[in-house]
Structure 1
Amino acid sequence: MEILELVRVFAIALLAGLACLLAMIAVVALVALTQHWTYVRKRRNAPARSSDEAPRIKARMSRLARPTLLLTPATESGFSKLGGNPELPAGFDWPADGRRPRTFIAQIDLADVRNHDGPEWLPPAGRLYAFVDEARYGFADLVRIVSTDEPSGWAAEPPARVEKREDRRLASSFVERRIAFAKHRSVPSLDWLGVDLTEIDLGDEELDELADAPDAPFGEAPQHRIGGYPSEIQDEQMAISCELMRRGLPTEYGETEITPAIERASKQWRMLLQIDSDPELKMNWGDGGRLYVFIREKDALKGDFSQTVTISQSY
């Protein structure tokens, strides 16, 4: 009987201790919840915070703005287009990696680009063709740009001799769209400017406005563009990444020291082409991502498109 009595007393003490513990947890949770809602009410009722950093960054964005051409559906037929089959010059070989032909993305008439006030660092005449090899994601040559001054020919067919029959179908798998050029003003993103958000004081509204500024002129439609600044999906200083890729260095910033020489050289990189995912064209880069093709200004001025770098980003 004494043992049973001891067990009963122990059980009562245990239950009492557990009840006290639960009561303490409830009190702590109630205090935390009260503090949270007090903070939320104060934040809702507080005036929008502003700082002198936002106007300074806006002014810098405006000062560094560049022209960009949005590629829109054309109402009249011309040479420039997205998708379909490329209209290659006579005797021109379809770009391939071994026996796997690349997929045609776009062809651009540089004279039309110049006539629509496109980037001045592009040649005033000639034609560009863009081909992608999706097996090369993560490599600088994901997109290959081919330039020529030769007159265009009829729409070419992919090579007959391929490694796999499916490769021939994929080489021209995007829906064709003739394009026109709509001039816009493109501003650099916070990433392009190298703004470290941990070192400045911005209100939420200011930060949202600055972050949305690069995309603001283009609306919700797919952003196929020539020139200007990239509309990044992920955080990345693309000009630095281009220089690292061109040098064969890892693009993970923690693995490579960004020297002053790399920073200086990165300022030469210009966005040549941005190709968006576009359901109407059956284009999808990763998970609704984009391709960004860059070229050094000095190479573009010489008409040398052999050293471009392509970066891909996805959601």
Structure 2
Amino acid sequence: MQLNEHNLIKMQNIIKEHQFEHAADYLIEHTQQGIRLSKKGAEDYARPCHSRIGGDPDLPEETEWPLTSDGTPMTFLAQLQLRDVAAHDATVSLPLGGMLYFFIGVDEPAYNIEHRVLYLTEDQTAAAVRRRAPEETTLEEEFTGYRIEARATLEPPNYAYVDDEIVEDEEHDFESYEDLCHQLTGLESDDIATIFGYPSTQHGDCEHEAALMLLTGSEYNYSMEAAMQQITDHCGGNAERAQQEIRDTLLLLAIDSDDDVGFCWWDAGELQFYIRKEDLMAGNFERTYCSLYSS
């Protein structure tokens, strides 16, 4: 999606400040409009239905706790007050109100992780109160709840997605590019999650993995070419439409490892949720994909 006018001007100014004019067109085309979530203090549960990560969720009494396929209660990860979060959504694709909840099953293996993304409208959450987690959930660890706050960001391609040959030249190495990236994202030490933008990975193939499963129900075999062929076949041989499906596979939420909350995804990695653009625009969170990246 194209940058809006405000973000385009901001992007141009930062590019000029860091003297990256040689890569300006590339960066403007490939930088995405995202949302960062940062911790704003330990949760005291005095006020329900604001954005929170870890701890316990606020749920209406009639809402059942999500279970895995074998009947085990899933572990709660985060809740997002969309009235607040969507105010920072330059893509205008998130619902403007209601609550979004993220639950996870066992995080092993690292692909096609059983999970649940639950969306409740403002009317449904009007009577929501703190719901204590069941005594045993899929993850054994107990996670400390933190209030979180959203802000709009610009998300340039990270090391797995960027074209090094375009951004680097005789005067600009990758460290210089990272400095530019940090200013675009406004990176803060309390950042813990990201909506939209680029996931952490080594190979830049996360969207291929997610799209393959969401579209065809097939598991990824770590070949982008094979995945594209399967998606192209699913699209009736239309390669251009298959490429668009990859572009329309969006990072709904990436949750980082964090000592304060107690999240540690394998070797201090990142937990990632994906959704198809058409489902997001329709407010349909029943079809999502979850995977884990660890270096």
| TM-score greater than 0.5 by the shorter chain | yes
Specify the alignment match of 1:155 in structure 2: 130
In the TM superposition, what is the alpha-carbon distance from 1:254 to its structure 2 partner? 6.6
Q: 1:126 to 1:254 in 2, by over 3 A?
A: closer
Counting only pairs closer than 5 Å after superposition, residues 100-111 of structure 1 correspond to structure 2 as: 100-111=72-83
Query: When the two structures are superposed, what TM-score results if normalisation uses the length of structure 2?
Result: 0.74
In the TM superposition, what is the alpha-carbon distance from 1:234 to its structure 2 partner? 2.1
**Is the counterpart of residue 296 in structure 1 residue 265 in structure 2?**
no
Q: 2:176 aligns with which of 209, 214, 222?
A: 209
Counting only pairs closer than 5 Å after superposition, residues 47-196 of structure 1 correspond to structure 2 as: 57-74=23-40, 79-97=50-68, 98-117=70-89, 119-149=91-121, 150-151=124-125, 152-159=127-134, 167-168=136-137, 170=139, 173-189=142-158, 191-192=160-161, 195=163
Q: How many residues align?
A: 254
Which whole-Å CA distance do the structure 2 matches of 1:123 and 1:262 have between them?
Answer: 26
> Deviations 1:203-225 (Å, cap 9, x if unpaired)?
59433434665455354625433
In the TM superposition, what is the alpha-carbon distance from 1:240 to its structure 2 partner? 1.9
- Larger proportion of helix: 1
Larger Rg: 1 or 2? 1
In the TM superposition, what is the alpha-carbon distance from 1:266 to its structure 2 partner? 0.5
Which whole-Å CA distance do the structure 2 matches of 1:281 and 1:91 have between them?
Answer: 28
Alpha-carbon contact 1:215-1:231 (below 8 Å) kept: no
Residue identity (%): 22
Secondary structure of 1:243's counterpart equals helix
In the TM superposition, what is the alpha-carbon distance from 1:269 to its structure 2 partner? 1.2
Specify the alignment match of 1:271 in structure 2: 251
Q: Letter of the aligned partner of 1:138 in structure 2? A: A
Specify the alignment match of 1:307 in structure 2: 287
> Deviations 1:242-288 (Å, cap 9, x if unpaired)?
21232214241178252325323111111111100000001100111
Secondary structure of 1:192's counterpart equals coil
Counting only pairs closer than 5 Å after superposition, residues 216-295 of structure 1 correspond to structure 2 as: 217-219=185-187, 221=189, 223-246=191-214, 247=216, 248-253=218-223, 256=226, 258-259=228-229, 260=239, 261-295=241-275
Gaps of 5+ in 2: 1-19, 230-238
Query: When the two structures are superposed, what TM-score results if normalisation uses the length of structure 1?
Result: 0.69
In the TM superposition, what is the alpha-carbon distance from 1:118 to its structure 2 partner? 5.3
Secondary structure of 2:26's counterpart equals helix
> Deviations 1:6-35 (Å, cap 9, x if unpaired)?
xxxxxxxxxxxxxxxxxxxxxxxxxxxxxx
